[in-house]
Amino acid sequence: MKVKIKTRQVYHRYAEVEIDVHDMECNDIHEYLLENEHLYTDEIDDKISKAEYICGNGCDNDINWTEPSADSEWRFEYGEGNYGGHL
């Protein structure tokens, strides 16, 4: 008789960049970031490719990740605290 031993392990990478934007409301920041992806996508792609793998899905930290079943998740935050939202 043969027995199969299986495992499924989830790992994630994390990266962040900061960009300068003018003072504006949250909805305006969201729209600005969507319209100006060129300001951050290359830099964050470079950082994520160099980041170490971390065991787990990444939702068990203080960054407010809310989509544990998603393959990836993008957020923006500004000011003191966790103001912002998903991209």
Q: How confident is the prediction along the chain (87 residues), in pLDDT tens digits per residue?
A: 998 888 888 899 999 999 999 998 888 999 999 999 999 999 999 999 999 999 988 887 666 777 777 888 898 988 876 688 888
In a domain, 76, yes or no: yes
Boundaries of domain holding 70: 11-17+24-86
- Placement of tokens 């003072």 in the chain: 23
In a domain, 3, yes or no: no
Q: Cα–Cα distance between 80 and 87 in angstroms, integer?
A: 19
In a domain, 34, yes or no: yes
> pTM higher than 0.95, yes or no?
no
Instruction: Please tell me the total count of domains within the chain.
Output: 1
How many CB atoms are located within 10 Å of the residue 76 CB?
Answer: 19
